[in-house]
Chain A
Amino acid sequence: MMKRRVLLSAAATGLLATPMIWRQAGAQTVVGVTKTEIKIGHTIPYSGPASAYGSGGKGHTGFWKMINSQGGVNGRKINFISLDDGYSPPKTVEQVRRLVEQDEVACLFNPLGTPNNSAIQKYVNQKKVPTLFVATGADKWGDYKNFPWIMGWAPSYQIEAQIYANHISKIKPNAKVALIYQNDDFGKDYPLGLKAAWGAQYDKFIVKALTYEVTDATIDSQVVSLRDSGADTLITVATPKFAAQMIRKVYDIGWKPLHFLSNVSASAGTVLIPAGAEKGIGIITATYGKDPTDPTWANDKGMNEWRAFMKQNLPEADMLDTSYVYSYGVCLTMLQTLRQCGDDLSRENIMRQAANLKDLDIPTVLPGIKVNTSPTNYHPMRHMQLSNWTGTSWSLFGDLIEGAG
């Protein structure tokens, strides 16, 4: 009741409605932190057309529960508040404002979706709320100059596209490339990345570029057009359902291009095997994480750590779902950030530490890839490695490639 009145009077006098719980020397803002608790906010679609992503939120919740049962971080328990935004940007704004203004979280962690994060980008920067390791593949979250309070995590789609472009230039300089991508912010980042790498040569390489809609039933028509273009190389930028259709159809019509598949859909267990394991032989993808369904990592120490975590904390969960692997990795990054903060959990220091991660090893990420950030590097992961589908598993080849992002 008291708190509410403080809030109201603050609002009425036109001040920011952020009551300070305690202040440190300097302009440090400490919000959402007590001697026993750190409040962290999160948004993700649990409902609506994108609810498939919701498992990531369940993974996060399980992770912080585990940390709390181990005593929390620096003696404080994590109060993790995860809210449903139905993948609708207006709802994301509403929920994030609730988290910041009503729940008064210390920071936001891993809100999902490119349009959703675009909608809150300005707000969290005005309010100076650390918005860490956002779950989107867009490149713009590395913009430390204009938006110093928001940071991405995984290598961006554009970095991935550049890796494909450079690989094609190297091994097949006269390739005739067909491109198919989902007609949304995810898909359209790939032509952008290819253009960035190829420059004026883009038009020389690409002989046909087509799109599909998530509402399409099948993409057979596009496959037929792409083949008829005479292309000998194919880049498929698709979500799992369409990727699986693509792999099967390309095989069925007897087309044998050099096939690149976007990392989003490179799951052995949920895309390549359902599509028909032998149909995808030779497909190339660029990856940074370990695929839980890939036999390569069946006895991997890092993946076993993840499996133990799943068994103990999310026994009901679907082990094929790569969202849980992603969740574990990104949560560990957040955990390290909080640990580095020590006892100074001001928003400024949380952001400072997030931008000061040095050679952090993540067990679910490929050997050799480390998380590094600095005040002038807001791309925590910049490396990927190419990988080849053998018919039973992915086989890494070549060196780690650093993206230009």
Chain B
Amino acid sequence: MKNTMSRTGIIISCILMAAVPYFFASGYQLFQLTLVVTYAVAILGLNLVTGYNGQVSLGHGAFYAVGAYTTAILMDKFNVPYWATLPISAAVCAGFGFLIGLPALRLGGLYLALTTFALAVAVPQLLKYRLFEDYTGGVQGIVILKPDPPFGLPMTGDQWVFLFTLLVGIVCFVLSANLVKGRIGRAMMAIRDQPLAAEAMGIDIAMLKTRTFAVSALMTGIAGSLGAIAVQFVAPDAFGVPLSLTFFVGFVVGGGASIVGPIFGAIFVEFIPNIADEISKAAPGAVYGVLLIALMFLAPGGCASLVRKAAPYMPWNRKTG
């Protein structure tokens, strides 16, 4: 009963998410919402590996960058249509994530944090490297074309990009929700909480850890592709440490091991800087920091923990309890 209720709820909210902005938001607001969805998918990827599997990554901006560049290069140099770049970008990022996941097998905790942080620092300089310049456009980056709505649909480019991003985003969220609910998800969390016991139960820790890394990189990479399509521009210095830090903040704000958490995290990282800018031109960074710390005090487990606490009191959950 509860399951069907919540499933209907999810479907209705998905439709609302698509319809309300479609009819009511201006082009600029649609662009913002497109970015929210993009960041939510990126943070979801981070949450899979860090929240569910307990492997700390400070460098998910790197996977975002690889996704974004894969799409940009395919569109710009090989004239691949934007939608067709997504599966390619997903595959490239999954492979890249798998490779990064290999040393991660031996490096836990802080060491993994350092490795991934180093990755975040190194990515801009790799993207600028002169041997790749013909493809990456070097420091100048790549400008790509904005997709037009297909089949002559009567809508603006912004509306179409939003719907497309939302659709891909929903698919990513549904797949991830199914993944963590199932056997694999339980194994991921078992490794995080009780690695020895997990191994004793017959879980292949090494395999699962690297695969989780791959799936996580895949999600964040897709987000990178979506971001490139929406912004129509990629440049190496846009993908440095600040971006990885942004995702990590979004992850912490949303809350670990939660599927809805990344949505809150994405809303935070997209809109709070604008609010900080409104409050103080002198030190917006300080305002942002204060808001972040305040939120940590209000919800030490992230926004998702608030949602979890509030859920039993919601009208649709009261009777089924």
Direct A–B contact in complex, judged by CB atoms less than 8 Å apart: yes
Q: A48-B242, A101-B26, A215-B121 are known contacts. Are A115 and B237 too (CB-CB below 8 A)?
A: yes
- Chain B proximity of A154: nearest CB distance (Å): 19
Range of interface residues on chain B? Answer: 35 or more
- Bound Cα distance A215, B140 (Å): 19
Please, which residue of chain B has its CB at the minimum distance from the CB of A18?
B27
Q: How many residues of A contact B (CB 8 A)?
A: 43
Q: Which residue of A lies closest to B129 (CB)?
A: A183
With A115-B235, A119-B233: A47-B276 Cβ-Cβ less than 8 Å: yes
Separation in Å of the A179 CB from the closest CB of chain B?
14
Q: In this assembly, does B125 line the interface, its C-beta being within 8 Å of a C-beta of chain A?
A: yes
Q: Which residues of A lie under 8 Å from residue B242 when comparing CB positions? A: 48-49, 86, 88
Known: A84-B277, A89-B233. A185 touches B26 (CB 8 A): no
Over the window 101-130 of chain A, the binary record of Cβ atoms lying under 8 Å from chain B Cβ atoms (1 yes, 0 no) is 110000000000011001101110000000
Determine whether A241 belongs to the interface, using a CB cutoff of 8 Å to chain B. no
Structural contact, B27 and A97, CB atoms closer than 8 A: yes
Q: Are B238 and A121 in contact (CB under 8 A)?
A: no
Residues B240-289 near A (CB distance < 8 A) = 240, 242-243, 273-274, 276-277, 281-282, 284-285, 288
Confirm or deny: B302 has a beta carbon within 8 angstroms of a beta carbon on chain A: no
What CA separation (Å) do A20 and B288 show in the bound complex? Answer: 36
Q: Which of A6-14, A262-270, A304-312, A355-363 contacts B (4 or more CB under 8 A)?
A: A6-14
Chain B, interface SS category: helix
B284 and chain A: residue at smallest CB distance = A47
For B139, the closest partner residue in chain A by CB is A185
| Minimal Cβ-Cβ distance residue in A for B32 | A94
Cβ-defined contact, A84 with B284, below 8 A: yes
Residues on the B chain within 8 Å of A184, using CB: 128, 139, 236-237
Contact in complex: A90, B155 (CB < 8 Å): no
Which residue in chain B gives the minimum CB-CB distance to A15?
Answer: B156
Beyond A47-B285, A183-B125, whether A102 also contacts B28 by CB under 8 A is yes
Shortest Cβ distance from B234 into A: residue = A89
Q: Are A48 and B238 in contact (CB under 8 A)?
A: no
- Rounded to whole angstroms, the CA-CA distance of A213 and B27 in the bound complex is 37
Given the complex, which residues of B lie within 8 Å of A91, measured CB to CB?
Answer: 273
CB distance A118 to B32 under 8 Å?
Answer: no
Q: Which of A67-96 contact B (CB under 8 A)?
A: 82-84, 86, 88-91, 93-94
Q: What residues of chain A lie closer than 8 Å to B26, measured between beta carbons?
A: 7-8, 11, 17, 101-102
Complex: how many Å from CA A115 to CA B239?
Answer: 12
Q: List 7 tightest A-B contacts by C-beta distance, closest first.
A: A84-B277, A115-B235, A119-B233, A101-B28, A97-B28, A185-B139, A47-B284
Chain A residues near B (Cβ < 8 Å): 7-8, 11-12, 14, 17, 46-49, 51, 54, 57-58, 61, 82-84, 86, 88-91, 93-94, 97-98, 100-102, 114-115, 118-119, 121-123, 183-185, 188, 213, 215
Listed A/B pairs (29) with beta-carbon separation below 8 Å: A7-B26, A8-B23, A8-B26, A14-B154, A14-B156, A17-B26, A47-B285, A49-B240, A84-B276, A84-B281, A84-B284, A88-B242, A89-B141, A89-B233, A89-B235, A90-B35, A90-B227, A90-B231, A97-B31, A98-B28, A115-B141, A115-B235, A115-B237, A118-B233, A119-B143, A119-B235, A184-B139, A184-B236, A184-B237
B interface residues, Cβ below 8 angstroms from A: 23-24, 26-29, 31-32, 35, 121, 125, 128, 138-141, 143, 154-156, 159, 227, 230-233, 235-238, 240, 242-243, 273-274, 276-277, 281-282, 284-285, 288
